[in-house]
Structures are given as structure tokens and as C-alpha cells.
Amino acid sequence: MSAEHAADAAPAPATGPAAVAERHPREDVGHWLSREASQLAFNRRVLAQAQRADVPLLERLRYVTIVSSNMDEFFEVRFPDTLEALRESPSEAAKHRFADLATQAHELIDEQYRVFNEEVMPALAREGLHVLNHAERNAAQRRWVREFFEQQVRPLLVPVALDPAHPFPVVANKSLNFIMRLEPLADDAAQARAEDAGAVGVAILKVPRALPRVVRLPDHVMSKGQQGFALLTSIIRAHLADLLPGRTVQSFSQFRVTRDSDLEVDEDDVTNLRQALRSGLTTRHFGRAIRLEVVRTCPAELSELLLEQFELPRQALYAVNGPVNLVRLNQLIELASADRLRFPPFEAGWPSQQWPRGVPVFEQLAHNDVLMHHPFQSFDPVVQFLREAVEDPEVLAIKQTVYRTGAESVLMELLIEAVRRGKDVMVVLELKARFDEEANINWAERLEAVGVQVVYGLVGLKTHAKLLLVTRRERRADGKPYLKRYAHLSTGNYNPKTARLYTDVGMLTANPEMTADVDGLFVKLASLVAVRELRHLVPAPTRLHARLLAHLATVAAAARRGEPARVVVKVNALTDEALMDALEAASQAGAQIDLIVRGACMLRPGVSGRSDNIRVRSVVGRFLEHTRVLYFRWGPRESDEVLYLSSADWMSRNMFRRVEAAWPVRDRVMRQRVIDEMLVPYLMDTRDAWQLDSDGRYERVADGLNDPSQSVGAQAALLALHAAAGQEPA
């Protein structure tokens, strides 16, 4: 019996109330760390990248913008439940929880703006990149900015003075706005009439999203070798008075509201999920307010008016020292002409040792599977696999899952072409991929229009597994035809753009048992019929959680016998309580456990008598860590170990509310490569790694080195490894 199947013979997980608790984590997390606080800690690690002298300056600015983007999502998705609990039941516990998280968020955002203002921007100025406000612009620059404002900006701006006929306008989620206090009219009689009419002396200006948030000044108004930029907020601020002729702006502030943006659709109560989500997207931008951002100089009376308007507590007010949306500073990174201030480009290589260039994919897979480690190795082989399938007249059918593929996708275009060539194409498209709903709905409509069979998976479950299956007609030696399947399985999305930014691993295989499992899962997703027991693929929500618990129990038993007992898990998040309990049990039995968790981790390592043998580290580097690798060892024999690649994080939602897929790497050489590339370097990292202590604090591993310049980063080592293999960076 194989190691992975032996796990299925272990006792089944608990059922009843305990199982329900596993699926829906308790509000009282007990000795676990707070998930939300852990998410904020991850963003502090991202912000630390912006302070590193060894990171190129424009990339340091990019990390600042990434923190802003992450914090937007935190307030849109993670924080609303905390605020709603306070609104519905203002108990002391709810008040404390809200206040604690709000305090941590305030501290993080204050530190972010300090790094932006005191470290990153002065360093960019020393390199000749200047973001100039109105006071810093010379006469020529001011003339150019005024002309730009008059021609490109002013025609799109319409301030609204508030009165009974002009109520406070509806403000969209994360949009840029100005609030202005107007001085009373000089004519006392006119002012009295305005007051009688209910005018409050306040005006609101909504700034269209279409306007660029960063504008590069032309070289002819700059000193030689210098580059100048103006923020849209600075341009509008300098010309506010021009927008209200006859009125004087007494005080003003930018402001921005972050709203609850989690789409809630009752799938049991809708007849067409796509139409229901399309309808929901129209109201997403106007959900309940969660956070209010203003500039630090905003007068108290204006911020109080805004808090009242949006029904927010004072702790939801974030007065920042700079523009209210640092995310849009990524436009400066793209506009700047300074390649020396960016990460050096690299050319992701072809996996030539497994698949020589020029060899057709179906011919290659007849000999061996192909493992690809992105972004160190190119995503192009995946595109090539699908392209060859589309162009091959012997390919009869293509099936693919789609979670996040982007508004533009060569893979989706290839599927459309496949239908045009008469192939049977089925796409399991996840409409509820958060913040990608609109792009996926658009793809669903395009695919259906040309005849692709589009299905949306199982009611109540998100389809998060990454699978691509090709069925091809081939001939045996005696000339008789038969059908052969080829599959691609991945830990990451079918998105060539993010494949250059995220670390992931994918595998191409023609193994008949594995491809039969992939086909069985597609049949289940499309038709809801019972399928044969899968032999290798381990899906969620039906088997993955139980399989992992069984493996951890087996490791614990081996440790108690004094045999080698080892667990190494690399995931993006660890929040499932049953899995954390099992990890602690294995630790107490004596197993050695290393957890490489990029983001939220609720488990406390190093707690005496509970998690003494558990170490947790997080790696934050040039690329977003996204690979999920699961390694278990419970004895001295080779058969006593198993390694999986997986689309699932160790979270209850992934285990019980998503369709996921994990699969074992059974080839010995390939399994060792996964260990050597995707686990060992991250355990040895002394450049980008952080260690979690039992109090929930992360300390950079490199801080303990006598000479940090000698530190080694996993990502840098992997880039060098694949360059040394003949894949030199451009």
C-alpha cells in the first residue's frame, strides 16, 4: 500500500459539532494568534523591504504601494466583520478587538508614510527623480502644470456645494475626493439667503478614476539629468480656487473611503449565478464604509463631518502624511526612466533538461513528466502545451479550470480558437474569484458565445484547483486507435503575467492514472455524478483535510516509536485549527516540524510543552511566494515519505469551501528536485527570511548574522541556479 493510500486507512476525522467547529473557526481563538493581526504582521514584513538598502529604489517604492494595496484588501474583506460585530453588539470584547486591530493598522500605516516620506522619496530625489508640489515648482513648471490642468483635468471636474438640492454625493469605494469649507459670501444678504436655503458652506469634488494620478513633467522644464513628477492631488489642490469662481476656499482635504467589498450571493437562491454576480458588481463600489482616509492637515470639523456622513467611529479615521492613495504611485515607477533603480531583468528559462526545445510536447511526455518552477523557469511551456493541443488535429477535447487569468489571456484566446477548429472544450470557470469577478464574467460570456461549454463548478464551493486536461487520439503499434490523456497540474493560476511575479510549480504528465483522476474531477465538476475513487489526486473538500490529518498522526506515531519523524510544509497561510492541533500533537510526540508560511499564521511556535519542535518562518523577497509543498516522513525507509504539491493553503475555507487538488510527486528524482529547490533553500534563507516567535513577533533571520552581506536568499539562489543551467538572464 502506498504512503498516501495508507493515510486513507487511518481513522476518519471527527464528525458532529467538533467537525463544524473546524470548518468555522471559533471567535475565541484561545492560544492561537489572531489571523487579522498576523495579516498585518505580514504587511509589516513587506514594508521592511522598502527600507532595505540592497533593494533598488523604485522597487522599494513598489513595496510601499504593495502595502497600500494589501491594506485596501484588508479593510475591504478582512476588517468588515470586526467592525460589524462592534456595530451589532458593542460588548467590551468587541470594543477591545476592534480597538486592538485599529491601533495596529494605524501604527502600520503611520510607519508606511514615514518610510515613504523620510526614506524612499528623499533617496529618489538624490537619484534625480523629484515629486514636486506646487511650492517646489518653478515658474516654467507651474505654467506647464496650469496648462495641463486646464486642458486635461478641469473639464472633468464638477464640485458640488452642499444644500438641500445638492445632498452629499455618493462616493465610490477607494475613489479620490476633496472636501472644501467655503468662506461665507461677502454679500451678507446673499449669505443669509444661502443659510436660509440650507447651504452648509461645504463643497465636495469627486475626481474621475480615468485621470492619471501621476504626471511626468516634460524634460524641457527640468534641469538636465533630472526627472520631475506631479501628483494629480497636487495639481488639483493648486487650482481648487479656479473651480469655484466667486467663492473662497477656506480649508480643504483629500479624502478616500474604503468600503466592504466582499460580494455575497446566495447560490441556493439564484437561478443564474453569472447574472446575479453581474448585478452585485454594480453595487460593490458602494458597500458599507469601513475606513476613512484624509490628509493630516484636514481640519477637525471636516473630518468629523465625513465620519458622521459615513457612520464611522473615530478609530476608523486615518489621517495620513501624504496622498491618500499610495497604490497609485506605481504609475511613477512605470513613468520613470531609470532602469538602474529597478530589479535587473531576468529571462526565465525553458525546462530544457526535461523537455528540449523543439520537441513536441506529446512526444516528450511519452518519455517523462515535466516539472516547471516559476518564475525561475518560464510559463511558456504551459502556453506551448495548450497551443500544440489546439493546433494538433488529433486532439479531440480540452478541459481547463480558470480562477484568475486576467482581463487579457492568451490561454483563453487559444481555447476560443480550439472551438473554432472543432474541438470539444469545457471550462470550469470560477465566477467568485475575489476582485476578478468582472473579468471572469466577461470571459464566460465570450467563451459561451463561440460554443465553449462553461460550467461554474459546485454550488457553495469555489473551484480553486488548477488543472488542464487534453484528450488526444493516438494509435497503437497495430494501428488501432485509442484515446490518451495529457494533463497540467499547478499550484498557481493560468496567468502568464503573474507567473513572472509569483513562485509556483506546475507539472505536465501523461501518467494514465493521474490523468484519469484529473478527468474524474472534471466529470464531477461538470455533471455532479459520483465518480470512481481517485487513486492519486487528493481533492478538497472531500479528502484533503482527512489525508493531511492522517499523515500528521502517522508522523506523530513514528516519533513516539523513536523513528525519523519530519514535516515540512510551505503554504501561504495556516489558520485551520484542526491542522494546527495535529501539528502540535506531532511536535509533542517529538517530530521535527518546519513551516514556511508566507502570510497569516495562527500557530504559535516554540511554546513549551505544546510546540517546542515547531519552527515557523516567512520569506518575503522579490517574488510573491505562492508555491505549496507538503512533505511528511515517518520512518527510515524510502516508502516512509510522501511529498505533495497543492493548490490549497492550510485554511478551513480551502479545506471545506473550495474545490482544491493536491497530488503526490512519485518520481524519486523529481521529488528530490522539489525538496532541493522549493524547501531546502527557504529553510536556509538568511536574506529574506523572518522567524516567528511564540509571542507573534517576526524577527529577520539575517539580523542574527555577524555579516549580513554574506546572507543568502532562496530566490536569488534559484535565479542563479537556473542561470547556471544555461538560462542566462537578459
Domain end among 313, 341, 369: 341
CB 371 within 8 A of CB 674: yes
466 & 519 share domain: yes
pLDDT digits (tens, 9 = 90+) for 424-478: 999 998 876 565 677 778 888 889 899 999 988 777 888 999 999 999 999 998 9
The predicted pLDDT at position 174 comes to 94
* pLDDT score for 130: 98
Say how many residues make up the chain: 730
The model's pLDDT over 117-151, given as tens digits with 9 standing for 90+, comes to 999 999 999 999 999 999 999 999 999 999 999 99
545 and 528 belong to one structural domain: no
The identity of residue 306, as a single letter, is L
pLDDT higher for 516 or 531?
Answer: 516
For the record, the C-alpha cell of 252 comes out as: 480643504
Q: Within a domain: residue 58?
A: no
Whether the per-residue pLDDT at 2 is higher than 90: the answer is no
Cα separations in angstroms, 355 against 351, 472, 490, 491, 670: 6, 19, 17, 20, 14
Task: Collect all residues with Cβ–Cβ distance below 8 Å to 449 and sequence separation of at least 6.
Answer: none
Q: Which of 464, 536, 545, 551 is catalytic?
A: 464
Percent of the chain whose pLDDT exceeds 70? 88
Q: What is the pLDDT of residue 247?
A: 83
Residue that terminates a domain, selected from 535, 568, 595: 535
Cα distances from 670 to residues 24, 216, 372, 520, 645, in angstroms, run 37, 49, 10, 25, 12
pLDDT of residue 87: 74
Q: State the pLDDT at residue 103.
A: 94
Q: How high is the pLDDT of residue 269?
A: 44
For residues 62-80, average pLDDT: 93
Phi-psi region for residue 147, left (φ > 0), alpha (ψ -120 to 50) or beta?
Answer: alpha
- 550 vs 9: CA distance, rounded Å: 8
pLDDT at 188: 54
Percent of the chain at pLDDT exceeding 90? 72
Instruction: Read off the pLDDT band of 23 (50, 70, 90).
Output: very low
Place of cell 520631475: 228
Question: How many structural domains compose the chain?
Answer: 3
Last-in-domain residue among 275, 308, 341? 341
Residue 92 inside a domain? The answer is: no
With contact defined as beta carbons under 8 Å apart, do 490 and 646 qualify? Answer: no
487 and 560 belong to one structural domain: no
pLDDT of 107 > 90? The answer is yes
Residue 29 lies in a domain: no
Q: How far apart are CA 462 and CA 404, in angstroms?
A: 12
- Which amino acid does the sequence have at 142? R
Neighbours of 154 (CB within 10 A): 16
pLDDT band at 373 (very low <50, low <70, confident <90, very high): very high
Q: Does the residue 30 lie in any domain?
A: no
Answer yes or no: do 575 and 520 share one domain.
no
501 and 640, same structural domain? no
pLDDT at 616: 98
Would you say 13 and 541 are in contact if contact means Cβ atoms under 8 Å apart? no
| CATH code of residue 319 | 3.30.1840.10
Judged against a pLDDT cut of 90, whether residue 334 lies above it is answered with yes
pLDDT at 110: 97
- Is beta strand 395-402 parallel, antiparallel or unpaired with respect to 424-429? parallel
Buried b (16+ CB within 10 A) or exposed e, 327-337: bbbbbbbeebe
Grid cell digits, residue 490:
499547478
* Same-domain check for residues 313 and 377: no
Q: How far apart are the first and last CA of the chain?
A: 48
> Rounded to 5 degrees, what angle do the CA atoms 672, 677, 683 make?
105
Tens-digit pLDDT profile for residues 142-179: 999 999 999 999 999 999 988 877 889 999 999 999 99
Q: Same domain for 460 and 411?
A: yes
pLDDT per residue as tens digits for the range 303-313: 999 999 999 99
Question: Do both 502 and 552 map to the same domain?
Answer: no
Residues 495-522 have a mean pLDDT of 96
Give the pLDDT score at 353. Answer: 85
Q: Does the active-site annotation cover 134?
A: no
The pLDDT mean for the chain works out to: 88
Residue 7 lies in a domain: no
Give the pLDDT band of residue 266 (cuts 50, 70, 90): very low
Q: What pLDDT was estimated at residue 440?
A: 73
Domain shared by 514 and 642, yes or no: no
pLDDT at position 263 is: 53
607-653: pLDDT as tens digits: 999 999 999 999 999 999 999 999 999 999 989 999 999 999 999 99
Strands 502-509 and 370-374: antiparallel
Q: What's the pLDDT score for residue 284?
A: 54
> What residue numbers bound the domain in which 712 lies?
540-724
Which residues fall within 8 angstroms of residue 722, CB to CB, at 6 or more apart? 348, 349, 373, 376, 377
Determine the pLDDT at residue 18.
33
Higher-confidence position of 436 and 31: 31
Band of the pLDDT at 88, cuts 50, 70, 90?
Answer: confident
What's 664's domain CATH number? 3.30.870.10
In a domain, 36, yes or no: no
Rounded-to-integer distance, Cα 256 and Cα 175, Å = 6
Residues 278 and 133 in one domain: yes
User: Does residue 620 sit within a domain?
Assistant: yes
Least confident of 264-273, 320-329, 589-598: 264-273
Instruction: Report, as an integer, the average pLDDT of 663-688.
Output: 96
Mean pLDDT value across residues 644-666: 96
Say yes or no: 693 and 620 in one domain: yes
Name the more confident of 100 and 229.
229
Q: What is the three-class DSSP state of 640?
A: helix
Residue 407 pLDDT exceeds 70: yes
Question: Worst-scoring range by mean pLDDT, 457-461, 477-481, 522-526, 695-699?
Answer: 457-461
Residues 223 and 295 in one domain: yes
Residue 53 covered by a domain: no
Instruction: Give the residue among 219, 224, 239, 233 at the shortest CA–CA distance from 335.
Output: 219
Is 70 exceeded by the pLDDT of residue 9?
no
pLDDT at residue 265 in the model: 47
